[in-house]
Structure 1
Amino acid sequence: MKCLLRVTVLSLCLTTILCSSLPHNKNPTVRGCDLRFQLTNIQTSGEPSHRLTFNDKRIKVSKIIYDDLSPVSDDWIRTKKNGKFGFIDLDEKEVMDFEFSFIGDFHEGYVVFREGDDRKDPRGFLNKNGDLLGGKYYDMTYNFQNGVAGVEINKKYGLIDRNGKIVVPIQYDFITGFFNGWAVFKREEHQGLINAKGQEKKFIHEKYDLRGYFYEGTIVFKHYQKMGIMDSNFNVIIPPIYEYLGNFKEGLVRFEQGKKWGFLDQNGKVVIEAKFDSEYDFSEGFASVTIGDKVGIINRNGEYLVEPKFSHISSFHEGLAVVEDGGKRGFIATNAEWVIPPLFEKLDQFKDGVFTFVIKDKWGFVNLRGCKNK
C-alpha cells in the first residue's frame, strides 16, 4: 500500500496502522485499560517536543524529556543526567542522586554499582537507602537471583545472600546463578552442582564439560565440540551431537545442527525441525525465529503466529511483544494484532505494568498499573 502522510496527529496514527502488514485492534486493551491514544507535537521557541495522551485517564504518561531510561525495576527507573546515572520513581521524583558512572537496575532490593569511572574500579551493592551491602566492595558483582548474588575477588567466585553474608565461599573458578535450588560450579579439577548452603554435588568426567545454568532440572554439557544435556544426577538425556544447545524453557530447548536451528523436547525428540537461521527461547508459549534477516514468531507446534518479515521482534512478556515495522516499534498481543502501533524509535518490553519508549531521541514511560484491578 502506498502511504500518503499528512502532518496531523490523526493522520500520523492512521498512516502507521494502514501501512502495517499486521491487523490493528480498533479497541485495544491491556490490563483493562483502553489503549487508544494521541501523539501531539508541541512547538515552542526551542526544539519541538511531543506529548503522548491516552483516552483512558488511568494510564499515566511521563514527560518525554529523558536522555536514557531503563525498564522499571523494583518500582524505580534508572535514568541519566549530565552524563551520570541515578533513579526516578513512577511519579518522576528523583529518588537516588545522579552520581554514578555505572549502575545497574534493582534486583531483589539491591543494585550493582561501580565506585569510580574506571571499569576496573571496585563494585558493590546498594539498597534504596544508598547503603553499601555488608560495607564491602568486590572486583566484580552480579545481580541477585533467588536470594543470592555472585561476587568475584582475585578471579575467584562465590555467593552472598541479601544480608551480605558469604553463603558459598569465594574459591570457585566459575559459578552460575541459582535456579531450582542449585548452581553449576567449577573448582580446580572438580565441577558439578552446589546449593545455597555450600553443599556440593560433584560430577567427575574427564571429557564432559558442564556449561550454563541448572534450569528446569537439566544441565548443558560439552563433549569435544558437541553439546548435550544431562539431568540433576548427571545422567545423559540428550546425547552430545549438537553444535549448540540452550537451556530448557517451557519444556523445549533450542538446538543448532548444520547451521540451522530447531527445538527438542525433554526426551530429546525433534519437535520443531531445524530450518531457522536463528531463534530465541520460548516465552509465554511463543518464540521469535529468523529466516535470512527477517524475524517472525512461532508457537509450540512450529506454526507461524507472525511470518518472518520484520526486522525485530522481542519475546512475549506480560502478553505483549515488541515488533519493529518500517523502522518504528510498537506492541502486538498474542493474537498478532497491534495494540500499540509502531510509532516509537525505541521501545522496551512491557514489565510490571510499565514500558519505556523513545520519540525523537527523547525517552518517556507509560504506567498502566492503575488498570491492574479493573
Structure 2
Amino acid sequence: MKCYIKYLVLFALFTIEIGAFASRLKKAHRDLSAYNYFAAKHRFEKLMKRKPVPAAFGLSTIFYRNDNPFHQLDSAYLYILKSQSNYAVLKNKQKEKLKAFGIDSAKIDSLFLLICKKKYNKVADSANIDFYNQFIQLFTKAPQWGEAINNRNILAFQQAKKINTSDAICRFTESYPDAPQVEEALLLYDKLLFAEETRTGTLDEYIRFTENHPFNSNKIIAEEKIFILSTKDGKLNSYEDFISKFPFNPNVNTAWRNIYTLYTKEFSKEKIIDFRKKYPSYPFMNELEEDLKLSEIFFLPVRFQHKWGYISNEGDTLIKPKYQWASMFSEGFAVVQLNNKKGFINKRGEYVIAPVFDDAENFYKEYAIIARDSLYGLIDKTGKIIIPIEYSYLDEFSDSLFLAEKEGQFGYLDAKGNTAIPFIYNAAGDFKNNFAYVKIADKMGIINRKGINVLRCEYDWIENFTNGLARVKKENKFGILNTKADTILSIIYDYIGPFKNHLAIVAVNDKYGYVNTNGKICIPLEFSFDAGTKEWADFTNGYAIFKQKNKFGLIDSTGKKVLEAKYDAVGNIGKNLWVPVLQKDKWVYVSLSKKPAPSGKFDYASFFNHYSVAIVKQKELYYLINDKTEWLTLQGFDKIVFWEDFIQVQLKGKWGLYTLNAEELIPIEYEKIERINPSVVVAQKEDSLFYINLQNKKIIHSSGQ
C-alpha cells in the first residue's frame, strides 16, 4: 500500500513537472513572439537540458535574427544542429506535441538553410580567407560547404598570385594541398622561384639555380641560358669550354654541332679531315663521314615539275624534290623555300636553320642576310641572330663591317651587331681597304673604319681610295687626293679617269694626257679630248689608244708612239703583242713584237686570247682562227662569245656551245645557255630547261618552266 502511494505521488509530481515545462516553453515562445529576446533567451537556456529540441530551435532563432543584441550566426548554426539531432530521436508523439509550438522537421530544416545561406553570403561578400576558413571549419553540414572550399581556394590563389612571390605560392600549396589550383600553382612557383634567383641574369645565378633546384620545371631554361651565356661570343674555344664544364647540359650536342659548323665553315674536304683529327670524341662521326663524301660532290638545284631538289653532275638524285625553290650551296649550306618561308639545309638535306624567314641570301664569309616583313638582319652559321631584323637595307660583310640603313639613314654595324659608326649618312658605300665613301646632304666624303672623316663631306662626287688615291669632283672640276687628305692633283681638271697600269687620263681645255700615282704628269696633255675618249684611251697591258686627225694609233707608258695614228680603229692588244687594226675598211693584225702577226684581212677581228685564238668576221658571219690564221670553225656564226675554255655561238637566234677546237658540245638549238659549274650548263628551249654535262655531252635533267 505504501509503494502504491509512493508511485502515485511520483506520477503526480511528474505530471506537475511536465506541466511546468510546458508552461515555461509557452512563456519562452510568448517572449520570443513579443521580441522580448532577453527573457526568451533566458527561458530557452533553462529548458535546454529537458527540452533540447524546442529550446535549441528557439535559441537558434534568436541568434539568427539581427534585430537583437544576441545576433550571432555561428551560435545559431550550432543550436539548430542540436535541434536537428535531438529531433531525429524523438518519438512521433513527442514530435506531434512540438507542432503546437510551430516546430517540425520542415521548420528546423528551413531555419538551418536560412542560417547557412546568410552566413555564407556574409563570408562571400567579405572576400576574406579567414572568414572562409572559419565557415569551412564550423559549417561542415552547410550545403555551401563545398562551394566555400572552392571559392576559398580560388580567392587564396588569386591573392597569392597578386603577391607574386614564390613564398606566397608555396604557402598556398602547403595550406591547400588538395586545391585543384595546386598543379598550376606549382608551375607558377617554379617560374617565380626561377625569376627571383636569376634576377640579374648572370651565368653564376643560372649555374646555382640548376644545382639548388634540380627538379624545377625551369631548369631546362636555366641550362639554355648557361649555354647561351657561356658561348655568347660564338667562338670555338667557348663551345669547347662549355662542353668541358657542363657535360650533362642538354645543349652539349648543339655545342658539338656548332663547333663542327664553325671549324668546317668552308665545308671543304681538308677542313673536315682536320676536324676529325682534332676532335676524335665528336659524337656524330657517322654524319661527319657522310659529309666528307658529300663535300666533293657538286649539288645542282633543279626543278622536278613544281618542286625543287638536287642532283649531281651525273644526274643522280641527291636530295629529293620537295621545296618551292632551292639555291646553290655555299659554304656547305643552301637556301630553300617551303611554305613560302626560307631556311637553310646541309648536304644531307637536313635543316640546319629552320625555314622562318621571308627571304634569305646564301652564306658569305660565315654570315647570311635574312629578311622578315621587308626588314633585314644577319645570322651566323649556327643560326644565331647577329644583327636584329630591323634594317631596311643590309649589305654583305666588307672589311669586318656591314653597311646598313635604318629610318632613311645609313651607318655601319660590326660582326656582333653593335653600331660601329652612327647612322647619320644619307648614302654610303661598302668599306674597301679600310675606307668607305659617305654622303651628307648633297656632299660626299670618305671615312675610315673608326668613322673618322678622312676626306670631309664637301665634294660633289668622290670615289673610294684605290692604292691610297681617290678621285674627287668639286664645282665640276676633278682632282686626286690621298688618304692624308693631301692634294696629289689639284682640282682643276675637266676629267680624270681611273688609274689603269698606274696611269690615268687627265683632261682640261679639250686636251688630255696621263698622270701617274705620284701626281706627276708623265705624258703631256697634247691629245685631243672628246666625248669618246673616255671609252678607249685607258691603258691596257702597258699601251693606250690615241687619236690624231681622226686616226688612231698606240702609245706606250712613256708616251712613245708605237703605232702611228693612221688607222680607222685600233683593238685591244692580245697574245704576242698582236693588235687588230682597221685600215681601208678591213681589219688586219700588226705586231708590236718581233713575232710576225697573222696574215689576212677581215671585216672584224678581235684580240688573240691566251689560248691563241681570235674571233674574226667575214661576209656577215663570225669565225674562230688560231695564231697561224687557220680557220678553226668552217661554219660561220651570227655571234661568238668567249667562255674562257669554250665559245658560245649563235646562229639564227639560237645558241650552242663549242670547244676552242671547234668541236660541238651543245647543238645550236637553245634560246639561252648559262654555265653553272665547270662541268654543267643549263640551256633553255621554249618553256623547258635542260641541264647538260659538258664532259659527256649528255642531258642529265630537264624540266618544264
Equivalent residue letter for 1:23: N
Higher helix share: 2
CA contact (8 A) 2:503 2:516 kept: yes
Q: How does 1:266-281 map to 2 (within 5 A)?
A: 266-272=660-666, 274=668, 277=671
CA contact (8 A) 2:637 2:649 kept: yes
Choose the corresponding residue for 1:100, options 475, 484, 493: 493
Secondary structure of residue in 1 paired with 2:607: strand
CA contact (8 A) 1:167 1:197 kept: no
Rounded to whole Å, the distance in 2 between the matches of 1:263 and 1:167 is 38
Choose the corresponding residue for 1:265, options 642, 649, 659: 659
Choose the corresponding residue for 2:504, options 111, 135, 138: 111
Equivalent residue letter for 1:60: N
Choose the corresponding residue for 1:193, options 581, 585, 589: 589
CA contact (8 A) 1:73 1:105 kept: no
TM superposition shift of 1:106: 0.3
Rounded to whole Å, the distance in 1 between the matches of 2:693 and 2:486 is 43
Partner of 2:545: 150
Rounded to whole Å, the distance in 1 between the matches of 2:513 and 2:403 is 41
Equivalent residue letter for 1:50: F
Rounded to whole Å, the distance in 2 between the matches of 1:299 and 1:91 is 54
TM superposition shift of 1:241: 2.0
1:54 aligns with 2:414: yes
1:242 aligns with 2:637: yes
1:134 aligns with 2:473: no
User: Is the alpha carbon distance of 1:285 and 1:113 closer, same or farther for their aligned partners in structure 2, counting shifts above 3 Å?
Assistant: farther
1:76 aligns with 2:472: no
Secondary structure of residue in 1 paired with 2:608: strand
Equivalent residue letter for 2:567: Y
Rounded to whole Å, the distance in 1 between the matches of 2:508 and 2:436 is 30
User: Is the alpha carbon distance of 1:34 and 1:105 closer, same or farther for their aligned partners in structure 2, counting shifts above 3 Å?
Assistant: closer
User: Is the alpha carbon distance of 1:39 and 1:112 closer, same or farther for their aligned partners in structure 2, counting shifts above 3 Å?
Assistant: closer
Secondary structure of residue in 2 paired with 1:235: coil
CA contact (8 A) 2:673 2:684 kept: no
Q: Could you tell which deviates more after superposition, 76-85 or 87-96?
A: 87-96
TM superposition shift of 1:110: 0.8
Secondary structure of residue in 1 paired with 2:473: strand
Equivalent residue letter for 2:523: G
TM superposition shift of 1:75: 4.5
Equivalent residue letter for 1:62: A
Rounded to whole Å, the distance in 2 between the matches of 1:38 and 1:110 is 32
Rounded to whole Å, the distance in 2 between the matches of 1:276 and 1:113 is 46
Is the radius of gyration larger for structure 1 or structure 2? Answer: 2
Cα distance per residue 1:39-80 (max 9 Å; x no partner): 55688xxxx631123339997352522364557655534343
Cα distance per residue 1:298-319 (max 9 Å; x no partner): 9994999xx9x9xxxxxxxxxx
User: Is the alpha carbon distance of 1:23 and 1:126 closer, same or farther for their aligned partners in structure 2, counting shifts above 3 Å?
Assistant: closer
1:160 aligns with 2:534: no
Cα distance per residue 1:118-144 (max 9 Å; x no partner): xxx233222234433332422346111
Rounded to whole Å, the distance in 2 between the matches of 1:79 and 1:228 is 44
TM superposition shift of 1:243: 0.6
TM superposition shift of 1:267: 1.5
Q: Calculate the aligned-residue CA RMSD, in Å.
A: 4.6
User: Is the alpha carbon distance of 1:271 and 1:22 closer, same or farther for their aligned partners in structure 2, counting shifts above 3 Å?
Assistant: farther
Q: Which has the higher contact order (CA 8 A, sep 6+)?
A: 1
Equivalent residue letter for 1:64: V
CA contact (8 A) 1:249 1:283 kept: no
Equivalent residue letter for 1:20: D
In structure 1, the gaps of 5 or more residues are 4-16, 310-374
TM superposition shift of 1:86: 3.3
Secondary structure of residue in 2 paired with 1:64: strand
Q: How does 1:1-374 map to 2 (within 5 A)?
A: 18-20=357-359, 22-25=361-364, 27-28=366-367, 37-39=401-403, 49-55=409-415, 60-65=434-439, 66=444, 68-70=461-463, 73-89=466-482, 95-116=488-509, 121-139=510-528, 140=533, 142-180=537-575, 181-188=577-584, 191-197=587-593, 201=597, 203-205=599-601, 208-215=602-609, 216-246=611-641, 248-272=642-666, 274=668, 277=671, 301=694
Q: How much identity, in percent, do the aligned residues show?
A: 16
Cα distance per residue 1:87-145 (max 9 Å; x no partner): 444677664333333322100111123323xxxx2332222344333324223461111
How many pairs align? 275
Normalized against structure 2, the TM-score is what? 0.33
Rounded to whole Å, the distance in 2 between the matches of 1:279 and 1:71 is 36
Normalized against structure 1, the TM-score is what? 0.58
Rounded to whole Å, the distance in 2 between the matches of 1:87 and 1:283 is 41
Cα distance per residue 1:312-368 (max 9 Å; x no partner): xxxxxxxxxxxxxxxxxxxxxxxxxxxxxxxxxxxxxxxxxxxxxxxxxxxxxxxxx
Secondary structure of residue in 1 paired with 2:523: helix
User: Is the alpha carbon distance of 1:91 and 1:289 closer, same or farther for their aligned partners in structure 2, counting shifts above 3 Å?
Assistant: farther
TM superposition shift of 1:38: 4.9
In structure 2, the gaps of 5 or more residues are 1-338, 342-355, 369-395, 421-430, 445-459
Q: Could you tell which deviates more after superposition, 132-141 or 147-156?
A: 132-141
